[in-house]
Structure formats: C-alpha cells, structure tokens
Amino acid sequence: MDATATTIQTVETPLIGFSREAVEELSRRKGEPDWVLQARLAAWETYERLPMPQRTDEEWRRTDIRGLKLDRLAPFAGFEPDGRVDGASVVQGQRAGVVAQKDATTTHVELAPDVAAQGVIFTDLDTAVRDHPGLVKQYFMTEAVPAKFGKFEALHAAFWQGGIFLYVPKNVAVELPFRSFAIAHEPGAAIFTHTLAVLEQGAEAFVVDAYRSETQERQAFASAVVELILRQDAKLRYVQVQDWGRHVWNFMTERATLADDATLNSLHVTLGARFSKDSIGAHLRGQNSLAEMLGIFFADGDQFFDHHTWQLHESPYATSDLEFKGALKGNARSVYSGLIRVEEGAQKTDAYQQNRNLVLSRTARADTIPNLEIGANDVRCTHGATVSQVEEEHLFYLQARGIERSEAQKLIVEGFFRPVIDRIPVEEIQDFLEAAIARKVGI
C-alpha cells in the first residue's frame, strides 16, 4: 500500500526556542488527540525539572556542549504537505517497507502487501498514533527509553516530530529490510526522529535507519531515540547510518530490551554532523539472549564524535559482543566509553567489548575508556582498547610497490575496518561503507 501524511498547514512564522507554548503549537498543527498532547506536556515538565548535563557528570566529562544554542533554534521545522519524497528516490533494491521524512513531515509511506497481510504494522508515528493508539501508548517511551531517562530524552519526548513504528506479530518473519529515511532541509531548525520496533515472540525483522542532510551555515539540532523491544526468541537486525551535514549537533539514544533467547545484531555508522553524541545500550533481561553490537565511525575536519555503550546483563547465560572501530583525521576528536555491567545473579555471562582507533593526523585525538562492573562470580568478561597511528613503514611498503600514498592510506584504513565490515551480511551496506571510507580518506 502507499500513503502520505495528513495535510497540515504550513508554519508562516516559525517559533524560536523551546517552550511549553511551542509544545502546544506543535501538537495543534499536527492535529493530535489530547492524550498525546498531555504526554508531551508531561515530558516538557520533566525536561524543565532535569538539570542540563555538566562536565562534572561522568558521561559528559569529555563532552563540551556550550556551543549548542537551543534558544536560537526553531523547535520544529515547517511542515511541507506538498513536499513529496519518492521512496524509490532514496532507496534502491528490495524492501519490505519504506518511510521517508523531510524535516517535520512524513512524505512517503510504503508497505509490501504480502507483509501487511501477515499482520505486520509499519508506518510513520503520526499514523500509528491515529490508527494504533493502544500499541503506541503501551510502548512509546515507556519500557526502553522513558522520558525521565535524561534531559535530552525528555526534550525529545516533548517535541518528537517523525519516525517509524514497526510491530511484528508472534512467529512472523520478514527477511527484507524495513527502511526509514530522515532528511533535514530547513536551516536553523530542530529535527526529531523516533524509531519504535516491537517484535513479539518468535518474530524476525531487519530495520535500517538513515539520517542525512546537506551542510548549511546555520546551526541545526537533531535528536533521535531508538527503542528496540524483543520478546522471547525474537530476532532483529538493526542498522543506523548517520550522515548529517557539518552544521548539525546530533544527540541519539538507543536502548534494546531482550527477553529469553532473543537476538539483536546492530550496526551504527557515524560519518556526519559537527557534533554527535550517541548513547547505545542493550539490556539483556532474558536467559540465553544475545546482543551483537558493531560500530564504525570516521571523523575528519573539526568533527567531534562521542559514543557511550552499555552492555547490561540482568539474567544468566546471556552473551554480548561489542566491537567499535573509528578513524580520525584533521583536527577531529572522538570519545568512546563502554560499560559491561553484570548484575548479581547473572551467572554464566559472556561479554566482550573492543574499541580500536586509527589516527591519521598529528592533530586528531581519540580517547577510549572501557569499563567493567561485575556483580556475579561465574562470568567471562573481557575488554580491550587501542589508539594508534598509521605506521610510516606500512605506507612505504605499499608505495615501494608503485601504489600512490593516498591510495596506500586508503588501503590501510579499509583493512582496519574490514573485520567489522565482513561481519555485516548485507552487500549493499558493505559497498556503502567502502565508498564512504574512500570519500573520507580523500580518494
């Protein structure tokens, strides 16, 4: 089926700054039911009550957000009911469904008829609020990422403007990917995207989120929340690619909850934005659950990337395997901090955490801080972290065989990322990453 968003009047005079009045105006223009407005207002009250993160907070110790000017931003972009984005223009290849968002407007929704016939729901959140209010009330920012999670999460709960809702019924398996695209266009505006995926017992799905925009002169703000809820024996592959313009300050929070025998395979690719702070966590709440968490980031120029990961083991016999790799050049800086936490009683936990960083210039810097908190006495938990530069002798070896220096550096960087890329069983994504790495290196 093919549908588009409900027509909404264009904002003639954009609001500036976040406020209760802006929350009410956003909800009014979207024509939302009263329960959604009340949830937004409650989140706004939480936002006002919570303090702004400080450099004295452990998670923010190496992150400076003084350059973020929230009071100068439009709290939501103008709605464009006639600004269509064709799903075929933003994604190639087969898919189970597509949702495309431009600024605050959902412009394209598509779901394969054979998938819909199995009871699968895949649509934009505005439509889900209207057509499936019971499910949205049950899962939206209640179980995985509640509004009280943090300052920026509360702001997101008050101003969310787009995103996707995926619901896969019991024992339904969908092999083709569900694709979501968020495109930011309006200067000086905030964009809020939300991914809510619920897989019932024995369900299987594949979700791909992509965020992108051209670089503009005025600062913009992007807030994303990803909630992945996996019931018993559910299996989800989740891929996120962030390629915002260099004017964007990006904040992303993701939490996955895994029941007994559930499996999560996730990949996060961070390429764009001036500033990007990602908090990525897997809550292994069920026995024999498995979370594979992969990450690739490449910063150049004056980009700043901050990744915090959480492997939270709450039940015995669960496994988590994390590997994040990053490269930096120019004056870029990255921060990685990962925590494996094993609760009391989570015996036979098997957890692995690895962060590797390749520095391609003398002015780039990478900080890496792995952490363990072990509350059980029969576990296997290991972690490792490295920061290194490209060895001149490696470059010389390749150049001595007739390879240009820039191409030699590209080969070394590709080889550095290859172990992660090879763990992605999707050729399209592998090709995209190879091209993106080449572009970043400068080929």
**Mean pLDDT, to the nearest integer, of 36-43?**
98
Res. 186: pLDDT tops 80: yes
Say if CB 77 and CB 184 are below 8 A apart.
yes
Res. 1: pLDDT tops 50: no
**Mean pLDDT, to the nearest integer, of 186-200?**
96
- 4/317 Cα distance (integer angstroms): 45
Tokens of 287: 């026995």
User: Angle between the 20-30 and 34-49 helix axes, to the nearest 10 degrees?
Assistant: 160
| Residue 329 three-state SS | coil
What is the strand order of the sheet 162-168 is part of?
Answer: 121-124, 162-168, 190-199, 220-230, 248-258, 275-284, 304-313, 333-342, 365-374
Q: What is the pLDDT of residues 77-95, one digit of tens each?
A: 877 654 454 444 445 568 9
Residue 378 has a pLDDT of 95
Say if CB 343 and CB 316 are below 8 A apart.
no
Say if CB 268 and CB 296 are below 8 A apart.
yes
Backbone φ, ψ for residue 167 (5° rounding): -130, 120
- pLDDT-based confidence at residue 397 (cuts at 50, 70, 90): confident
Task: Please report where in the chains the tokens 């810097």 appear, as a residue.
Answer: 365
Residue 50 has a pLDDT of 96
pTM for the structure as a whole: 0.92
Q: What is the pLDDT of residues 16-31, one digit of tens each?
A: 889 999 999 999 999 9
Q: What integer best gives the mean pLDDT of the chain?
A: 91
- Widest distance between CA atoms in the chain: 70
Say if CB 294 and CB 418 are below 8 A apart.
no
Q: What is the pLDDT of residues 271-295, one digit of tens each?
A: 999 999 999 999 999 999 999 999 9
Is 183 exposed, middle or buried, given 0-12, 13-18 or 19+ CB atoms closer than 10 A?
Answer: middle
- pLDDT-based confidence at residue 401 (cuts at 50, 70, 90): confident
Q: How far is CA 313 from CA 151, 201, 324, 339, 347, in A?
A: 25, 20, 19, 11, 9
Residue 93 has a pLDDT of 65
| Residue 91 three-state SS | coil
Res. 383: pLDDT tops 70: yes
| Residue 243 three-state SS | strand
Percentage of residues of the chain with pLDDT beyond 90: 79
Residue 83 has a pLDDT of 47
